[in-house]
Amino acid sequence: MQLVRSQPIVLLASAALWLSACAAPAQQPANKPAASAPTGAPASGSSAAATSAPTGAGAAGSTIKLFSSFPMTGSALGQTQTMVNSIRMAIDEHGGRVGNFAIAYEALDDATPAKGNWDEGKEAENANRAVNDPDVMVYIGTYNSGAAKISIPITNRAYLFQISPANTSPGLTKPGKGEPGEPEIYYPTGVRNYARVVPADDIQGAVAARFAKEQLTVQRAYVLDDAEAYGRPLATVFYNEARRRGIQVSPANGPESIDRQATDYRSLALRIRQTNPDLVYFGGVTQNNAGKLWQDLRATLGPNVKLMGPDGIFEQAFLDAAGEAAIGTYVTFGGVPVSRYTGKAAEWLQRYRQRFNSEPEAYAIYAYEAANVALDAIQRAGRKERNAIREAGMNTKDYDGVLGRWSFDQNGDTTLTTMSVSQFKGPRMDQTEFIIQLSAE
Amino acid sequence: MLDLEILLQVLVLGLTNGALLALVALGYTLVYGIIELINFAHGDVYMIGTFTALTVVLGAGLSRSSPPLTLAAFLLLALALAMLVCAALNAVIERVAYRPLRHAPRLAPLITAIGVSFILMNVGLYWYGASQVRFPDILPNIDLLQALGLSTVVRFSTKDLFVLVVTVPLLLLLNLFIYRTRLGKAMRATAEDRDAAALVGIDINRTIALAFIIGGALAGAAGFLSGLYNNTAWFQQGFRAGLMAFTSAVLGGIGNPTGAVLGGLVIGVVAAITDFYLDPRWTQAVVFGILIVLLVFRPSGLLGEQVPEKV
């Protein structure tokens, strides 16, 4: 009897793994809008449709392909769809061409329906597809820092230029700011091929801590994370910076990771209440159950304890998931929120609204900038050769884009370091109130 | 802040969650008691219950500011529908996936159970997507202890009360049914000796189907309550809840309805205590640790199975 009882658990568990590995294509139709915008290029052609120009040929009239890899299944779609839109927009504004090359673009999905979130296997598959397609010259991605850890080593071996509009984990590029061995382990050739147009989390976490101390005059803070490659290091930066600034941080041994599959966080909230904090900080993304966490924190801690999170929850999906509990939450974000765009950014916003008849989410403008930097690199390289384009891309200096004038430093990080803090005021993103622009000091 | 008050608060949490577990655990135990089958799709039936209730709540556009009568009417409808859908679903599962295999080797219905579990999970995935969905918070949330004028940090709200108000009558009704009605007697007889029960004229197929229907209805009620109480719905919620409920059933002595309720409450409280005093990451380890220790020293569970020859 004992044997029969224990077997099903093992079976069920291994079967569940199998389920998450090869999920049913239940949500595929949700991806379709991705292909709706006109680009003058095949929106979702397979590699079979690729022209077979040999790498480095630079023949007149040949096609250069850009791939992007974001989670396009699940709740991140609200955000990533506007990013894909922006990339298409950038290419179309170049007339679909750079020099002699026609530009084709394909938006890949690195999420699975069963996870509703990015997936290691899918990301590796996407990166390999890019590397093995001789026409692909730039890989735009990823959205999640954890996914970048998978794809960078793959694109690196092919000297393929990878540019991310959204990765913020410091360890991807900055020596000494991440885990031991980072970032060298991501660059097996020893040559850098990865850059990002968004400020990293060593800045974001520090700005959040500075804001908590200086603006909110927080005395005691409780720090949580979602145990992922993006959330955990970010929460750790916040934790250390907050302590350095004299905030009393709990728990005693560093940020506490939540169980993203839990049905409730009441016990956790109760434990947090015992430490009597003024602020609870969560490093993580919406897709790791942040909405439910917020509900239980708000219900148990009452209206006076402040809640704060990073750019990973700066999206409509979070407001939907957390409901009323989201209102009053402080959020940090690279650059400024959509409502505060000025100059070139404001002009871009106008064009975006006109073309797509909708509002872009926070990362759309970064995707637009990343695509433009990629096109600029192709222009300056002047050849259809991965290494030349990689070198041109990594050497982007004094770029005058929608984000302002900036350069990539030797690590591939943007020289922009301004972050902003906003506060959710209602159930829609456009009701978000901008509070302050801050640097990490 | 007194530590005792915190302990009380943790107990309230544990008992409410435990009551939900008990409802699900009963479904495992009823079915096992009769045909010695572990219905691994049961947790997913519970998930479908939450999704059904969520569909009603969203469809009716309920919110906390809805008129009380409308709210009550639609909540009743949601409860009835969730129970009905899950009962029917469980009956269909029994008819399609288990009955044809009743005399097959024991591994066969186990495999179909897992298959059905996956089918239901994918139905859930298609229904509301892969992320956790917010279940609107529509129950009035008034702290009863404060309303009574007690000065304490312990919260016992109308939401907690609601769970008990729905669960306890259901448990009493089930008890009455099993021990005071002819059909209940037939169920007990079938559990004790299927062939002998058939010989005295009991319709075995109908009795077994009845166990599935009752188990499904209870899972539907639990799904409804979980949605309203936890304010979240997820296509994989049935997997973990099912595992915990199954553990509760084994802990209490599988096949024994009273044991399932006791097991559910014990596991609910143990989980809440570990969550609070230790670390949520240890909760499952502690729960299963207790189960292993118990099974080593008391293989038939806390109360044991009521039918001695089954053990």
Among B275, B281, B294, the strongest candidate for a mutation testing the A interface, having the largest count of A CBs within 10 A, is B275
CA distance A68 to A34: 12
Q: Which residue of A has its CA nearest to B250?
A: A5
Residue window 63-82, chain A: list those with CB within 8 Å of chain B: 73-75
Q: Report pLDDT digits (tens) over A284-296.
A: 999 899 999 999 9
Chain A nearest CA to B66, separation (Å): 16
CB contact (8 A) between residue B240 and residue A15: no
> Confidence band (pLDDT; 50, 70, 90) for A340?
confident
Cβ-based contacts of B117 with chain A (< 8 Å): 12
> Confidence band (pLDDT; 50, 70, 90) for A110?
very high
Pick B134's closest partner by Cβ from A116, A271, A291: A291
Mean pLDDT confidence for B7-32: 92
Give the DSSP per-residue string, B94-127: IIIIIGGGTTS-THHHHHHHHHHHHHHHHHHHHH
Interchain CB contacts (distance < 8 Å): A and B = 114
CA distance A100 to A63: 9
Q: Report the DSSP pairing between strands A111-112 and A117-118.
A: antiparallel
Residue A17, pLDDT > 50, answer no
CA distance A211 to A209: 5
CA distance A87 to A260: 32
- Cα-based distances in Å from A85 to A31, A71, A118: 13, 14, 19
Pick B280's closest partner by Cβ from A5, A26, A262: A262
Among B131, B153, B269, the strongest candidate for a mutation testing the A interface, having the largest count of A CBs within 10 A, is B131
- Give the residue carrying structure tokens 């003058």: A40
Q: Report pLDDT digits (tens) over B65-98.
A: 888 899 999 999 999 999 999 999 999 999 999 9
User: What CA dihedral angle connects B80, B81, B87 and B93, to 10 degrees?
Assistant: -170
Give me the residue spans of the domains in chain B. Answer: 2-297
Residue A346, pLDDT > 50, answer yes
3-state class of A385 per DSSP? coil
CB contact (8 A) between residue B118 and residue A8: no
Mean pLDDT confidence for A187-208: 93
CA distance A411 to A405: 18
Quote the pTM value: 0.81
Q: Report pLDDT digits (tens) over B242-268.
A: 999 999 999 998 888 889 999 999 999
Cβ-based contacts of A268 with chain B (< 8 Å): 275, 280
Among A20, A225, A232, A266, the strongest candidate for a mutation testing the B interface, having the largest count of B CBs within 10 A, is A266
Mean pLDDT confidence for A330-343: 87
CB contact (8 A) between residue B137 and residue A323: yes
Is residue A101 within 8 Å of residue A378, measured between CB atoms?
yes
Is residue A411 within 8 Å of residue A173, measured between CB atoms?
yes
Q: Which residues contact A315 (CB under 8 A, 6 or more apart)?
A: A76, A78, A79, A286, A361, A362, A429
Cβ-based contacts of B4 with chain A (< 8 Å): none
ipTM value, please give it.
0.86
Residue A11, pLDDT > 50, answer no
Cβ-based contacts of A19 with chain B (< 8 Å): 118, 121
Q: Report pLDDT digits (tens) over B55-73.
A: 999 999 888 888 889 999 9
Helix and strand numbers (H, E) in chain B are: 12, 2
Mean pLDDT confidence for B132-150: 85
The topology (CATH level 3) of B2-297 is ABC transporter involved in vitamin B12 uptake, BtuC (1.10.3470)
Pick B276's closest partner by Cβ from A2, A12, A267: A267
Q: Which residue of B has its CA nearest to A14?
A: B114
CB contact (8 A) between residue B132 and residue A323: no
Considering chain B, what is the average pLDDT of its residues?
A: 89
